[in-house]
Amino acid sequence: MVDNPMLPRVGMGFTGFLSKGNGVHSGSLAKLCPGRPTAVNRLVQFLCCVALGLPILSAAQVSTSTSSSSDTSAPVAPRRGVEAAGSAVTLETSEQLFTVAAALNSCGYDAGLDRSLPLRSAIRRELDTQVQTSEGGIPAKRALCEYIHTHSQKGSQNLAQFVSLALFLTPPPQLALSFPENEMPPDALNVVNVLPLLRTFAEAVHLHAIWVAHRQDYEAAVAQVHDSVTRMLLETNVYLHQPASSYDGRRFLVLLEPLLSPEAVNARIYGSDYFVVASAAPADATTQDAGIRLDEIRHVYLLYEIDPIIYARASSTSRLLPILKTVQDAPIDFVYKNDIVSFTTECLIKAIEARTMDVGIEKPKQIVNGKARLDPAGYAAALGDYDRKADAVRRRTVIADMRSGWVLTQYLYDKLSLTDREGISLKDNMGELVYGMDVGFEASRDKKIPFFAEGSPELVGTAGSTQRGRALPRVLSPMDKAELALQQGDRANAERLADGELAANPSSVEAKYVLARIDLLEGDAEKAFNLFDSIAQTAKPDTRDNARTLAWAHVYLGRMYDSALAQPDRAKAVGEYHAALTIPGTGPDVQSAAEAGLKQPFAAPKRATAPAQQDDNEPLDPTGKKQKDSYTPDTGKPR
């Protein structure tokens, strides 16, 4: 079960001591590797020590030399993630998350209890004892559980809202918001009023003392999954030809919380922070199963690595827009049908997963225990047979992806098959993947794909699925249809739908946003500016969609201050770009656009004539020559 990391695109180190800053407690300890800064986590320790040929210490070995500093570390300003001196990729635990998870368990959260580590049941028993024997324990629990039950939501969203809140809390006993409420993700705001009740409950049952008593158990849980997670990340980097991540302002953080269900993986992207909140089941030495959902963590890690590569070429991917017409009836979420960058990213991740999947067939080895097992000719034949069988398994996975709506997976899989042999990094190959595609041919082929039916057990989901398969389908609202019409070039229909929405709801942010972009396309900068300004002045980031719309309105205002007004005003433009970056949960596309505007003034593209609308009835040219000849890369184009 994975919650949506894409929107709020829904951002986890051990630093050698129990940190009391950053809104996250570092819960396992790292032995520093020579040559690294002081705040180095265990994942980077593993990579660094492997490279230098040094021994890797267990959590228990390193904790004795560093735990004495846990009570003397000074608090710092709250912030998600780790210090700038630390690593970009970290594995840690959090007392804030423990506190929230303990409250949920005390109030009836039993999901995955039979598959959890014994530690979870032990803590639950201690909680029950403290509730019954501590002064004020019973009324504190009653008030807390009443709030939790009255604010419950369907499915995985119920847990997800409390996980989001935990990521934005200061350490106990304060348990206060580490960000202003207007900068909080919308789902966390749904339950923010639980905090006074949570503080009372935590104090009444001495929750901090329980946390301290089980710190070694938490470190043991981290040690159980550490090497498997590290190995998975390292193998992913090797495949992508990416160096081990160092801190560059972006973070990938895995938070381990044994009090949650091992089946539930919550992913979030907040600005440049990619969070994965996961639990662990008992390890299986026979199957070498570490008890953690590595596939889901890897999917989000691929998103973390691929996002900046894709968004660096976001304007170039606009040439792939005809592909979206072929997936309007596919069983994928609306956001992918309407955003070619997100859609391409997901298809690329699925192609990489197919290329690197465990096919369940043992690969032949020529040398075993230092002795030649096969002669060169026999080894080559065995390896060729393995490659054919493995490719057949992988292609069955690709076909399932295609029939689930991820129609670019086969094209990207085939391209990766070629570049894998040449050892080209994904970053260096991305231009060829985008510009080398015969879009007309791909669209023609994709139209013939028989998609799986809604609700089919064969559906392949995304990192944003609320279940292992996929999320419930989204019913298109009038404004969803308006967005789709605008994307397809049907301005008249988009304007009709937006006008109808605005007549029924004069404060509709989505309707104003559609109309403002239509005005821009039609050259009415003044009307567009007034609508974007109205959104910026009145909209609230109280939902995921409103947060993105508000952020984009600020970006458009910044661009208009830069280029579309009679008197450009660079200072006001910079202010708008900064305003866009302060809104949480908006996604890397907004962040990339705003940061580009801060680096240099936006320059509107020059067009001699408006492009003709594509005719659905026009025969497709299977060679793609006409589409290629008419294509001119466009940089800096507004979304």
HSE-CB at 228 with a 13 A cutoff on CA atoms is 19
Q: pLDDT of 413-471, one tens digit each?
A: 999 988 888 888 888 888 888 888 899 999 998 888 888 887 666 666 554 433 222 33
Identify whether the C-beta of residue 108 lies closer than 8 Å to the C-beta of residue 102: no
Could you tell me if 507 and 589 lie in one domain?
A: yes
Asked if residue 270 is part of any domain, the answer here is yes
Could you tell me if 320 and 431 lie in one domain?
A: yes
- What is the structure's pLDDT at 379? 79
CB atoms within 10 A of CB 118: 10
Asked if residue 483 is part of any domain, the answer here is no
Give the domain CATH number at 507: 1.25.40.10
Asked if residue 305 is part of any domain, the answer here is no
- pLDDT at 198 exceeding the cut of 90: yes
Q: How many domains does the chain have?
A: 4
Least confident of 72-76, 220-224, 290-294, 499-503: 72-76
Asked if residue 50 is part of any domain, the answer here is yes
Identify whether the C-beta of residue 241 lies closer than 8 Å to the C-beta of residue 425: yes
Identify whether the C-beta of residue 2 lies closer than 8 Å to the C-beta of residue 266: yes
- 249 or 256, higher pLDDT: 256
Which of 233, 258, 278 is the last residue before a domain boundary? 278
C-alpha distances in Å from residue 472, one per residue of 160, 461, 600:
16, 11, 42
- pLDDT at 147 exceeding the cut of 80: yes
Could you tell me if 343 and 469 lie in one domain?
A: yes
Over residues 94-99, mean pLDDT? 96
User: Which sign does the torsion angle of CA 204, 209, 213, 219 carry?
Assistant: positive
Domain coverage including residue 318? 312-474+605-639
- What is the structure's pLDDT at 458? 61
Q: pLDDT of 385-403, one tens digit each?
A: 888 898 899 999 999 999 9
Q: Which residues contact 156 (CB under 8 A, 6 or more apart)?
A: 1, 3, 264, 266, 466, 467
- pLDDT at 514 exceeding the cut of 50: yes
CA distance 564 to 516: 13
Q: How confident is the model at residue 412 (pLDDT cuts 50, 70, 90)?
A: very high
Least confident of 338-352, 560-574, 607-621: 607-621
Q: How confident is the model at residue 220 (pLDDT cuts 50, 70, 90)?
A: very high
Supply 364's token pair. 């032949």
Asked if residue 295 is part of any domain, the answer here is no
Could you tell me if 175 and 156 lie in one domain?
A: yes
Could you tell me if 44 and 57 lie in one domain?
A: yes
- What is the structure's pLDDT at 608? 46
Could you tell me if 444 and 335 lie in one domain?
A: yes
Could you tell me if 236 and 251 lie in one domain?
A: yes
Over residues 365-381, mean pLDDT? 70
Name the percent of the chain in helix, strand, coil, to the closest 5: 55, 5, 40
Give SS3 for 608.
coil
Over residues 54-64, mean pLDDT? 30
Could you tell me if 335 and 426 lie in one domain?
A: yes
Could you tell me if 130 and 182 lie in one domain?
A: yes
Across 143-147, 283-287, 593-597, the highest mean pLDDT is recorded for 143-147
Least confident of 42-51, 182-191, 317-326: 42-51
Asked if residue 149 is part of any domain, the answer here is yes
- What is the structure's pLDDT at 153? 87
- pLDDT at 295 exceeding the cut of 50: yes
- What is the structure's pLDDT at 270? 80
- pLDDT at 92 exceeding the cut of 50: yes
pTM: 0.64
Could you tell me if 456 and 403 lie in one domain?
A: yes
Q: How confident is the model at residue 211 (pLDDT cuts 50, 70, 90)?
A: very high
Q: How confident is the model at residue 554 (pLDDT cuts 50, 70, 90)?
A: very high
Could you tell me if 197 and 323 lie in one domain?
A: no
- pLDDT at 491 exceeding the cut of 50: yes
Least confident of 25-29, 173-177, 210-214, 621-625: 25-29
Asked if residue 296 is part of any domain, the answer here is no
- pLDDT at 170 exceeding the cut of 90: yes
Asked if residue 373 is part of any domain, the answer here is yes
Q: How confident is the model at residue 83 (pLDDT cuts 50, 70, 90)?
A: very low
Q: What is the mean pLDDT of the chain?
A: 77
